[in-house]
Chain A
Amino acid sequence: MAEALHMKHIVKVYSNGVMANKDVTLCVNQGEIHALSGENGAGKSTLMKILFGEEQATSGEIFVNGAKVNITSPQMAIGLGIGMVHQHFMLVPSLTVTENMIMGIEPKKGLLIDEKYARQQVEEIGKKYNLYIDPEKKVADLTVGQKQKVEILKALFRGAKILILDEPTAVLTPQETVELFEELKNLKKSGYTIIFISHKLNEIKELCDRITIIRRGVTMGVHQVASVTEEDISRLMVGRDVVLTIDKKPASPGKALIQVKNLRVVDENGNAQVDDVSFSLREGEILGIAGVEGNGQSQLVQAITGLGPYTSGSIMVNGQDIRGKSVQNIRDLKLAHIPEDRMTSGAAAKLSITENIIADKLGWKRFSGRGILKKKAIREYGDEMVRDYQILCKSQDVEIGSLSGGNIQKAVLARELSGEPKVIIANQPTRGVDVGATEFIRKQLIDMRDQKNGVLLITSDLNEVLGLSDSLIVLFEGKIVAYISDVSSMTEAQLGTYMLGIEKQEEAQIKEALHE
């Protein structure tokens, strides 16, 4: 079979020094459905951005249909017959299906758009590929599945022969997924080449011919899907490079600090993002939440911290139901939150380090009186925090945004931990943080635990979740699929099978997470 696409030894180093692709090779045959798989942050998206001309590779070669190409813009990629179906749809909601499809290549009659011909073309191509959508409908009125069809049609309409689908099933209901797979198989029969990005093993098994696995920017080889087991794939995807040992005393958990019962979070499309989740976080333990990203972790954290809604169930923090409480009320229950994205919700980039650290303490008598801030006390406190949390900076007055990721995270930690919390929600606390800061942050979290506080640790870093947690919950598609009360007995291979939904514990075992 001829090669439709060959990306050889692609290296991508971003200007901030992050190496997203270290050595990736992807070879896709004509007329196959090729899975591209790997954990979040493994480098899949970067690779596809390079292919679609949105990013330039630092080094490496790309061949399309055997000819070497240099793709510098999406237009070029489109011209080469590459079409991208973005995970976040690139559609204009108030325009009709036809208008969205023809944009940029409108058929004309004189100066005006030839609406009749355009509609006819859109109708024809829809029928031809069994993806019919009413051309007159506004995109805003379509379901998610229909919008995705429009995206696929848009690419086909522009002459795409190689279709890239970026986690297309993430937003679909199960029925829509079945439908999508039918359509993709049809396209394959008509000779189209499809790159299917996913980490859902059952879907890959069902749909794809071959699979390329990327781990931390390096390809772990290409396999015939039929000849590898799901366990093989999971091992290749989530293997640990070095086993991390973290020094800590055995945990001695006490009473429950957070109790989540039958929690459900349903999004606006009616999909359950968190589905009947129950567990307790006890004092003196670090409870890890493992799972491939996008399996409900964010929604769970948002519900507990009051930043997002939940549909049903109950959440008790320090014995109080938080339903209807504001974020401030919940924080007053001695709950601290280290957010997932420190630049958007963890820190105000333009404010100084100290201003960020005291942002939640403005009501303290020590720092303000009669509506006026007490400059001197604040400065002293700022210096103290910078020293205690080893924040490397010229002075406490510099904009926090000018610091490195690790130091910003230390400042966030300083703010959250200095309020003497009982419960700490740490969401990806060491993501994008250098080795030194990572060690420091982990040590702080262990210290908090040893002082009889509870830490809920959400992380996609396997080393971290296995090394730091005392007990562990695994989330898959919004449900708890495993509860491990003693993490030291856990192997990474076993964890991988839970994370990818290959195995699930018995209900009784999962119920133990609640400790009732």
Chain B
Amino acid sequence: MNILTYICSADFIYMWIRVATPILLAALGSVVCSKAGVVNLGLEGTMLISALFGVLGSVYGNSLFWGLLAGVAAAVIVSAIFAYFHLILQANNVLCGTAVNTMATGLTVFVLQLATGEKGNSSSLKSFAFPNIEIPLIKEIPVIGEVISGHNALTYVALLMVFLIYILMYKTPLGLRMRAVGENPDAASSVGQNVIQIRFIAILICGALTGLGGMYLSMGYLSMFVRDMTAGRGFIALAACSMGQATPIGALVSSMIFAFFDGLSNILQVLKIPSEFVQMLPYLATIIGLTVYSIQQSIRVKQRMKK
């Protein structure tokens, strides 16, 4: 019973939101890409690279601003490389994505060692971190204040992004073109749209968002870079994006679902339930969810055929 009380506690909910932040940011990036018809498998590597370069930028630039700039720039450059190979040289996107991920693992450790002499983490460097923000008034409210206020700045940015990406995709000309290019590139090009250009832009936007997610890990969640610290979050973000039907709200909801089980696994370990079992739950939930969804879809298609 004490699990339930813990799950309902403000502490857990606070942690839940915290865990969801990086997944949400990367998932939103993936939403933009997917809508434009590109599956970006390189999210994991992009996150890792921005996590490191954010730290290094803030150390060498001696300010948070340079950290932010370096982190986002690194992510955007990596994405541009991905886009160049995938869109212009027309390489397979699975191959490009895997290349980004594999390169990121090696590159981050290599650069980390050049900068610090160590291969494990950047604790010897004094990195800046994104501040936690106390929201006036709201923080005074009992429980709700505890849950909503005092999060990292990037958490609020992530939530704001849900709204901004929604506006971008559904209210602006660029968003309309991205959705058209993703669904029927021939239709878009028949009215003079440059499919490659629009997809390129989508990949860069995705890169910037994913970069923020990566930096949250090393400059929010922790205040240092640890090798392979993304630990599969890029892939979880991809799953969250697909599960959420590649919509911003859907990505938010599915990121929260994944984060819930992630948070839960921390507690359940105390109860001697193997953490590996618990960590399996979000994926199990995804499979079940997707199965139910596909069955519903096929029933709907059959009904339409009958008409």
Contacts and interface: CB of A to CB of B under 8 A. Distances in A.
A104 B186 contact: no
A153 to B, nearest CB: 13
Given A91-B184, A113-B172, A78 B179 contact: no
A94 B176 contact: no
A90 interface: yes
A90 B177 CA distance: 14
- Which 5 A-B pairs rank lowest in CB-CB distance, beginning with the nearest? A75-B192, A90-B187, A106-B173, A90-B190, A104-B191
A248 interface: no
B173 A108 contact: yes
A74 B189 contact: yes
Contacts of B177: 103-104
Given A74-B192, A112-B167, A154-B191, A106 B176 contact: yes
Given A103-B176, A106-B176, A111-B172, A93 B190 contact: no
B180 interface: yes
A453 to B, nearest CB: 37
Contacts of B190: 74, 84, 86, 90
B179 A104 contact: no
Contacts of A104: 177, 188, 191-193
Contacts of A268: 305
What is the predominant secondary structure among interface residues of chain A facing chain B?
loop
Nearest to A79: B192
Contacts of A90: 184, 186-187, 190-191
Nearest to B175: A113
Interface in A80-121: 84, 86, 89-95, 99-100, 102-104, 106, 108, 111-113, 115
Contacts of A115: 171
A111 B176 CA distance: 13
B193 A103 contact: yes
Nearest to A154: B191
B104 to A, nearest CB: 33
Interface string A258-298: 00000000001000000000000000000000000000000
Contact of A99 (B176, B189, B193): B176
A258 B298 CA distance: 35
Contacts of A113: 171-173, 176
A6 interface: no
A204 to B, nearest CB: 26
B86 to A, nearest CB: 22
A103 B184 CA distance: 12
Contact of B187 (A75, A92, A111): A92
A92 B191 contact: no
B191 A158 contact: yes
B187 A112 contact: no
Contacts of B173: 106, 108, 113
A223 B179 CA distance: 46
A95 B171 CA distance: 12
A94 B183 contact: yes
A103 B172 contact: no
Contact of B180 (A74, A84, A95, A112): A95
B167 A92 contact: no
Interface residues of B, number: 19
A95 B193 CA distance: 16
Interface of B: 167, 171-173, 176-177, 179-180, 183-184, 186-193, 305
Given A92-B184, A95-B176, 20 more contacts: A75-B192, A78-B192, A89-B187, A90-B184, A90-B186, A90-B187, A90-B190, A90-B191, A91-B184, A92-B188, A93-B183, A93-B184, A95-B179, A95-B180, A103-B180, A103-B188, A104-B177, A104-B192, A112-B172, A113-B173
Contacts of A103: 176-177, 180, 187-188, 191, 193
13 contacts: A74-B192, A89-B187, A90-B186, A90-B187, A91-B187, A94-B179, A95-B176, A95-B180, A100-B187, A102-B176, A103-B176, A104-B193, A112-B171
B267 to A, nearest CB: 41
Interface string A424-458: 00000000000000000000000000000000000
Nearest to A110: B172
Contacts of B171: 112-113, 115
A52 to B, nearest CB: 9
A78 B187 contact: no
Contacts of B305: 268
Contacts of A78: 191-192
Nearest to B187: A90
Nearest to A109: B171
Contact of A92 (B172, B180, B192): B180
Interface string A43-78: 000000000000000000000000000000111001
Contacts of B172: 111-113
Contacts of A100: 180, 187
B243 to A, nearest CB: 18
**Which of A103, A111, A268 has the largest number of chain B CB atoms within 10 A?**
A103
Interface string A107-147: 01001110100000000000000000000000000000000
Nearest to B167: A112
Interface string A328-370: 0000000000000000000000000000000000000000000
Interface in A197-228: none
B190 to A, nearest CB: 4
Contacts of B186: 90
Contacts of B187: 89-92, 100, 103
Contacts of A158: 191
